[in-house]
């Protein structure tokens, strides 16, 4: 598993990061317990991330669709 390889490779240089990842392994990987077709629709519980996700969604939807004929 990639997490194990990371901890083996960087654990000596970044012991606190390796310990944090190892300690929170179950919570970190719970996302992959859901079916792959659901991954695009899963949302974070982080309120800041959720706000910016909405902004990104609206920006992508409106990019390049500015109609300037209304002021002519």
C-alpha angle 35-36-41 in degrees, rounded to nearest 5: 95
Report pLDDT digits (tens) over 51-69. 676 676 666 555 555 555 4
17 near 10, Cβ under 8 Å?
yes
User: Under a CB-based contact definition with an 8 Å cutoff, are residues 54 and 47 in contact?
Assistant: no
pTM of the model: 0.48
Q: What tens digit of pLDDT does each residue of 7-20 get?
A: 999 999 999 999 99
pLDDT of residue 7: 92
Structure tokens of 52? Answer: 């910016």
Domain extent listing, the chain: 2-64
């Amino acid at each position: 598993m990639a997490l194990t390889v990371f901890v083996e490779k960087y654990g000596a240089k970044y012991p606190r990061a390796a310990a944090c990842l190892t300690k929170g392994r179950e919570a970190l990987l719970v996302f992959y317990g859901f079916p792959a077709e659901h991954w695009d629709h899963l949302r974070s519980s982080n309120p800041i991330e959720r706000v910016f996700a909405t902004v990104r969604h609206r920006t992508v939807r409106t990019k390049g669709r500015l109609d300037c004929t209304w002021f002519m």
